[in-house]
Amino acid sequence: MADKKQKNDISKMSFEEAIKELTSIVGKIEQGQIPLQDSLEQYERGMALIKHCRGILQQAEKRIEKISELEEKSKEQDG
């Protein structure tokens, strides 16, 4: 149950947030100040974050989207 919740909140994270948490996890583990059991959990979370970041990077847009007052107005008209 805790796992599912974690996975959900990772999938909502922005790239920036994910990288930030990842860096802090690595720092904590490298400083060696957490017990082995916790560091295993953090490792798993770190791996999940890395996977999420890779996923974001791998999506690619192919079209430029247009924004302008005209576009806005026509969107409003289309409702």
Could you tell me which residues come within 8 angstroms of residue 43 by beta carbon, excluding any fewer than 6 positions away? 25, 29
Check binding of 30 to another protein (CB under 8 A): yes
Distance CA 43, CA 63 (A): 37
Query: Closest Cα to residue 74, out of 29, 27, 16, 66?
Result: 66
Check binding of 77 to another protein (CB under 8 A): no
Is 1 or 70 the residue whose CB approaches another protein more closely? Answer: 70
Check binding of 10 to another protein (CB under 8 A): no
Binding interface with another protein (CB under 8 A): 14-16, 19, 22-23, 25-26, 29-30, 32, 36, 39-40, 43, 46-47, 50, 53-54, 56-61, 64-69, 72
